[in-house]
């Protein structure tokens, strides 16, 4: 899987070399139409992991430990939910773009009149003066302040106004997944060593050894051990796969934050970018011509 498809590569570069798409409107935030498949997939995965964590796996933990993990994973999931929503909902556009309130249509870029979309800090598509670090995102069709990249999972641009929420959503997603993976590994180990440790809930009294209960404590559903283990393996694989993408981006952005000047040729990530591997727009030179 090409992890770098996260980034809308060369949005400005593409826009400046060929006529803009016939779209004459701008997207406000991640909820603006059209929704992106990745965005829908992200919410489905989040729902599956949260549901199985709270309704199936945490109730299997020994007394007290289940209360602790309800609190820890509950706090992490809630925090992730809030910052994820903020990352999607905040409009990262330039101040002058937002002041126009998206009431005006976006003209088609004419390369015969201008060489670049943004010249001398003026965007010919948004028709406003923009800041030095602004870039015109081809996917959102608007200028974004402190442009970082266009995130398909948020279906929104990540810029100065929502970068912290994007980063917090990465960190909280990783922490939540680590907790869930740890819980699953504990359950698998205990099942092979001493399954009775996982059957301490009072509702297990009088239940045969090969019967397990889902959705404790309020809606107990009897099932076989194989079903619980099958769901566990599926969720473990889903969690491990889900861990790769935010993990990769977290490490990348962590290194980027430690680089004193990511635009400098001395930054080791610049050569990585130059190969068009990750988030190229972040390290493109300023969009304003001097
Ligand atoms: Zn623009
Ligand atoms: Zn965008």
Residue 209 CA to residue 288 CA, distance in Å, equals 70
**This model's pTM is above 0.85:** no
**CA of residue 129 to ligand 1 center, whole Å:** 9
* Nearest residue to 200 via CA among 219, 213, 210, 189: 213
pLDDT digits (tens, 9 = 90+) for 164-182: 999 999 999 999 999 999 9
Span 80-89, mean pLDDT? 96
How does DSSP classify residue 57? I
Ligand nearest to the CA of 137: 2
- Which of the residues are catalytic? 151
Listing DSSP states for 182-206 in one string gives HHHHHHHHHHHH-GGGG--SGGGTT
Q: Which two tokens stand for residue 273?
A: 């970018």
- The rounded percent of the chain whose pLDDT value lies above 90 is 52
**CA of residue 229 to ligand 2 center, whole Å:** 41
* Nearest residue to 109 via CA among 9, 36, 8, 11: 11
Q: Is the pLDDT of residue 188 over 90?
A: yes
* Nearest residue to 282 via CA among 274, 105, 86, 238: 274
**CA of residue 135 to ligand 1 center, whole Å:** 7
Ligand nearest to the CA of 134: 1
How does DSSP classify residue 56? I
**CA of residue 202 to ligand 2 center, whole Å:** 52
Ligand nearest to the CA of 97: 1
267 φ, ψ (degrees, to nearest 5): -70, 120
**CA of residue 150 to ligand 2 center, whole Å:** 4
Half-sphere exposure for 100 (CA within 13 Å, toward CB): 20
pLDDT digits (tens, 9 = 90+) for 230-255: 999 999 999 999 998 888 888 887 77
Q: Which residue has the tokens 């969690």?
A: 239
**CA of residue 25 to ligand 1 center, whole Å:** 11
**CA of residue 96 to ligand 1 center, whole Å:** 10
All residues with CB under 5 Å from ion ligand 1 = 123, 125-126, 136, 143
| Under 8 Å between Cβ of 220 and 59 | no
Q: Which pLDDT score, from 0 to 100, does residue 268 have? A: 55
- The rounded percent of the chain whose pLDDT value lies above 70 is 81
Ligand nearest to the CA of 128: 1
Q: Which two tokens stand for residue 266?
A: 């001395």
> Which runs of consecutive H residues, i.e. helices, occur in 32-162?
37-52, 65-89, 95-99
| Under 8 Å between Cβ of 156 and 44 | no
pLDDT digits (tens, 9 = 90+) for 95-115: 999 998 888 788 888 888 888
> Which runs of consecutive H residues, i.e. helices, occur in the chain?
11-17, 37-52, 65-89, 95-99, 163-193, 225-258, 268-274, 280-283
59 φ, ψ (degrees, to nearest 5): -60, -15
């Amino acid at each position: 899987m090409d992890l770098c498809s996260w980034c809308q590569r060369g949005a400005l570069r593409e826009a400046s070399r060929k006529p803009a798409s016939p779209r004459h409107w701008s997207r406000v935030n991640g909820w603006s139409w059209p929704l992106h498949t990745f965005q829908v997939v992200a919410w489905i995965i989040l729902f599956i992991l949260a549901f199985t964590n709270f309704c199936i796996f945490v109730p299997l933990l020994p007394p007290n430990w289940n209360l602790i993990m309800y609190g820890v994973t509950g706090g992490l999931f809630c925090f992730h939910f809030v910052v994820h929503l903020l990352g999607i909902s905040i409009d990262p556009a330039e101040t002058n773009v937002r002041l126009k309130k998206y009431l005006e249509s976006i003209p088609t870029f004419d390369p015969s009149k201008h060489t670049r979309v943004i010249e001398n800090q003026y965007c010919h598509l948004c028709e406003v003066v923009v800041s030095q670090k602004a870039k015109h995102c081809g996917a959102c069709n608007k200028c974004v302040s402190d442009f970082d990249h266009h995130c398909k999972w948020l279906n929104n641009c990540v810029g100065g106004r929502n970068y912290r929420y994007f980063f917090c959503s990465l960190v909280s997603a990783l922490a939540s997944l680590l907790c869930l993976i740890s819980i699953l590994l504990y359950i698998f180990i205990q099942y092979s060593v001493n399954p009775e440790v996982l059957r301490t809930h009072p509702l297990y009294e009088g239940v045969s050894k090969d019967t397990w209960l889902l959705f404790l404590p309020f809606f107990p559903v009897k099932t076989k051990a194989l079903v619980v283990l099958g769901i566990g393996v599926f969720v473990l694989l889903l969690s491990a796969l889900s861990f790769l993408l935010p993990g990769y981006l977290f490490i990348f952005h962590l290194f980027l934050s430690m680089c004193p000047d990511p635009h400098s040729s001395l930054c080791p990530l610049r050569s990585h970018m130059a190969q068009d591997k990750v988030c190229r727009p972040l390290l493109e030179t300023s969009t304003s011509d001097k």
